[in-house]
Amino acid sequence: MSVAPQPYVHGYDAAESIRLRDQAGALEALLHADTAYPAGSLVLEAGCGVGAQTVVLARNSPGARFVAVDVSPDSVAETRRRLEAAGCANVRVMQGDIHDLPMAEGSFDHVFVCFVLEHLADPLRALAALRRLLRPGGTITVIEGDHGSAFFHPDDAAARDAIACLVELQRRAGGDPMIGRRLTGLLQQAGFDRVRTAPRCVHADGATPALADAFTRRTFAAMVAAARDAALQARMIEPSRFDAGIAALHRSAERDGAFCYTFFKAVAVR
């Protein structure tokens, strides 16, 4: 039975598509350096979004075959456009609900899930459904962030209040913006074996100005800023306070500032 899609708290507009592209570029080495699939293997990317991670996966494993799935038809169309522009011919893109995909049990050698579980009301159910699609001995790779891990210099209370608005909005939408710390337990509960979870920390400061611009400004601060209208409509915060928080996040990207955020990457076996 199909499951109604959860609201995507960040939205589907052009600005979000650009943010996801910037995020993928800024984090490619950190998140993907140790992810490669053997030639001839069949890999499911569950929840491909606009294809920001799909292009990286396809390029890093040119001999593997991928099936990229997303519930949003607009995201599926954007993923196809990105793959065509990048010249990646080893990916089939389709629309589908990852809870109820029309593939036989054991169809895939590997499954890749990135920035998806945080938006689901029942991530355990999703993992169990994906486990069914893996062959025995196949692997799943899951990458999620954890908004509770963000810290920055200069520290700023307004910035923390703005981040708290995004966290609350995502929770109200049924998601968990701090799911990164839960990955090991979720995978174990879903029946996976040999779970290995490792933190992947982004640290951007005056010594890494390009990363500070790409991640602190154009990825994280942009993600929080996109929640402004919803936060104000919900009367969570005063407009001036929210705007001051975004300014403070941008301030942490200056030469004497610093910003840290931790992602969690888990690999497990069926």
Helix H, strand E, coil C: the string for 53-72 is: HHHHHHHHCCCCEEEEEECC
Does 95 reside within a domain? yes
State residue 182's pLDDT score: 97
Mean pLDDT by 10 residues, the chain (270 residues): 45 59 74 95 97 95 98 96 97 97 97 97 98 98 97 98 98 97 98 97 96 95 96 98 98 98 98
pLDDT of the residue at 21: 62
Does residue 3 form part of some domain?
A: no
In a domain, 82, yes or no: yes
12 Cβ neighbours under 8 A, 6+ residues apart: 72, 74, 75
Q: Residue 90 to residues 70, 142, 170, 180, 196: CA-CA distances in angstroms?
A: 17, 21, 34, 29, 28
pLDDT score for 185: 98
pLDDT in tens, 169-193: 999 999 999 999 999 999 999 999 9
Looking at residue 27, what is its pLDDT?
84
Number of structural domains found in the chain: 1
> In the prediction, which pLDDT does 26 show?
74
Following CA atoms 78, 82, 87, 91 in sequence, which dihedral angle do they give, to the nearest 10 degrees?
Answer: -50
**Exposed/middle/buried for 190, CB within 10 Å: 0-12, 13-18, 19+?**
buried
Is residue 5 situated within a structural domain? no
| Residue 121 within any structural domain of the chain | yes
Residue 32 within a domain: yes
Could you tell me if residue 204 is inside a domain? yes
Residue whose entry in the numeric block shows the structure tokens 């109604």: 4
Looking up residue 239, the CATH number of its domain turns out to be 3.40.50.150
The residue type of 231 is A
| Residue 29: domain span | 14-269
* Cβ(246)–Cβ(162) below 8 Å: yes
In a domain, 224, yes or no: yes
